[in-house]
């Protein structure tokens, strides 16, 4: 089983729709979690951290479910500009090093 798994998509959704992505992780010792956005042929950019209590940033909501070992990203009122690949990232402390594992990303295409 991969350490971090994401459905690569693509998810094709109409403008204004609500879309959700999940990301599962295999190691229960994972400590911190992030969502990144990556546009085509660009670098990943931090979208938001994911906190245990869940957190919201405008149209974006991130949640963590430690019992089932997944994180989610909800995008409301999708815009054309939301089209990108969304990477989930899991940090886990192993010995003296914090291992950072990236998922392969979920591609979102918002269509007019």
Partner 1 sequence: NAGVTQTPKFQVLKTGQSMTLQCAQDMNHEYMSWYRQDPGMGLRLIHYSVGAGITDQGEVPNGYNVSRSTTEDFPLRLLSAAPSQTSVYFCASRADREVGYTFGSGTRLTVV
Min dist CB 105 to partner 1, Å, is 7
According to CB under 8 A, which residues from 36 to 65 bind partner 1?
Answer: 36, 42-46, 49
What is each CA distance from 38 to 23, 78, 86, in whole angstroms?
A: 16, 16, 6
For 59, residues 6+ apart whose C-beta sits below 8 A from its C-beta are 75, 76, 77, 79
Residue 19 or 89: which CB sits closer to partner 1?
89
Closer of 17 and 104 to partner 1 (Cβ): 104
The number of beta carbons lying within 10 Å of the beta carbon of residue 87 is 22
Enumerate binding residues for partner 1 (CB under 8 A): 4, 8, 32, 34, 36, 42-46, 49, 87, 89, 91, 93, 97-98, 100, 102-105
């Amino acid at each position: 089983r991969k350490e971090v798994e994401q459905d690569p998509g693509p998810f094709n959704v109409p403008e204004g729709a609500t879309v959700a992505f999940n990301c599962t992780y295999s190691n229960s010792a994972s400590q911190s979690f992030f969502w990144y956005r990556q546009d085509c042929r660009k670098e990943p950019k931090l979208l938001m951290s994911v906190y245990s209590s869940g957190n919201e940033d405008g149209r974006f909501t991130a949640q963590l479910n430690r019992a089932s070992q997944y994180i989610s990203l909800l995008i409301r009122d999708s815009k054309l500009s939301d089209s990108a690949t969304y990477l989930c990232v899991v940090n886990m402390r192993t010995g003296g090093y914090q291992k950072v594992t990236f998922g392969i990303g979920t591609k979102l295409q918002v269509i007019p």
